[in-house]
């Protein structure tokens, strides 16, 4: 078991981290998953999360930040509760991905990597999410939404506003 005092994560996540660092031939292999799971819980990878993860893996913070800055899903600032990620790569583009992105911008009143003032939604234009045959597609947090139309997007946003959206973690 880790001797690191848990200060910022839930007991469940701390226990998961305690386990994760033991399963690999080298504990550092847990770094990328830990950063992502920390973000899932806190909403972003905070300075405190970086410090604690570094301590858990016996790394200097700089090494953790070096890895953190590489991966596009990891962020160091809060996003909305629901991060809307619209794919505009080729297969989605051909079937109206940009129309969906524009519709999201208009409906939410925000641009790429911005958050609504109430903190409910943030928006991101993303690269291929592997839903090419069901394009245009987007993810809200980890949940996939496919064969989109502007009307479908409106319904989805209302569902999430009403607290009925799925939130896969």
Partner 1 sequence: MPTLVSHPDEVKVISRRFGQGAADIEKYLELDGYKAVQRAIAEGPEWIINTMKASGLRGRGGAGFPTGMKWSFVPKVSEKPKYVLVNGDESEPGTCKDHVLFLHDPHSIIEGTMIAGLAIGSRLGFIYLRGEYRYLLKIVEKAVADAYAKGFLGKNIFGSGIDFDIITQTGAGAYEVGEESALMESLEGKRGVPRIKPPFPAVVGLYGGPTVINNAETIANAPHILLMGGEAYAKLGTERNGGTRLFGISGHVERPGVYELPMGYSLRKAIYEVAGGIKDGKKLKAVVPGGSSCPVLTADEIDVGLDFDQMGKAGTMLGSGGIVVLDETVSIVEFALRVISFYQHESCGWCIPCREGTDWIKKTLTRVHAGGGSKKDIDNVQYLAENMMGRTFCPLGDAAAMPTLGFVKKFRKEFEEYIDGKRVDTPLITIDQLVGAH
Instruction: Scan residues 33-62 and list those touching partner 1 (CB under 8 A).
Output: 33, 35-36, 57
Instruction: Scan residues 124-143 and list those touching partner 1 (CB under 8 A).
Output: 125, 127-135, 139, 142-143
Q: Apex CA 169: angle with CA 133 and CA 50, to 5°?
A: 115
| Nearer CB in complex with partner 1: 5/70 | 70
One of 3, 7, 25, 164 touching partner 1 (CB under 8 A): 25
**109 near partner 1, judged by CB under 8 A:** no
**8 near partner 1, judged by CB under 8 A:** no
**Residue 169 CB neighbour total at 10 angstroms:** 8
One of 48, 155, 159, 168 touching partner 1 (CB under 8 A): 168
Smallest gap from residue 111 Cβ to partner 1 (A): 8
Tokens of 159: 């569902």
CA atoms within 13 A on the CB side of 88: 13
Judge if the upstream peptide bond of residue 36 is cis by omega within 30 degrees of 0: no
**152 near partner 1, judged by CB under 8 A:** no
| Nearer CB in complex with partner 1: 8/143 | 143
CB burial of residue 117 (10 Å; 0-12, 13-18, 19+): exposed
**108 near partner 1, judged by CB under 8 A:** no
| Residue 148 CA: distances (Å) to CA of 31, 35, 71, 142 | 35, 31, 27, 16
CA neighbor of 106 nearest in space, from 84, 127, 128: 84
**83 near partner 1, judged by CB under 8 A:** no
Tokens of 104: 């999201």
**3-state SS assignment for residue 166:** coil
Smallest gap from residue 99 Cβ to partner 1 (A): 11
Binding site for partner 1 (CB under 8 A): 23-26, 28-33, 35-36, 57, 66-67, 70-74, 88-91, 93-95, 98, 101, 112, 125, 127-135, 139, 142-144, 146-147, 168-169
């Amino acid at each position: 078991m880790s001797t690191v005092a848990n200060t910022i994560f839930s007991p469940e996540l701390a226990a998961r981290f305690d386990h994760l660092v033991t399963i690999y031939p080298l504990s550092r292999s847990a770094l990328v998953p830990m950063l992502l799971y920390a973000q899932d819980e806190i909403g972003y990878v905070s300075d405190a999360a970086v410090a604690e993860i570094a301590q858990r893996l016996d790394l200097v913070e700089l090494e953790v930040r070096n890895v953190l800055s590489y991966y596009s899903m990891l962020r160091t600032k809060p996003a909305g509760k629901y991060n809307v990620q619209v794919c505009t790569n080729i297969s989605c583009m051909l079937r109206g991905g940009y129309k969906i992105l524009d519709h999201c911008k208009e409906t939410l009143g925000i641009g790429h990597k911005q958050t609504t003032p109430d903190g409910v939604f943030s928006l991101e234009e993303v690269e291929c999410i592997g839903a090419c045959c069901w394009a245009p597609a987007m993810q809200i947090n980890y949940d996939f939404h496919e064969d989109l139309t502007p009307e479908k997007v409106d319904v989805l946003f209302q569902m999430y506003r009403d607290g009925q959206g799925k939130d896969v973690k």
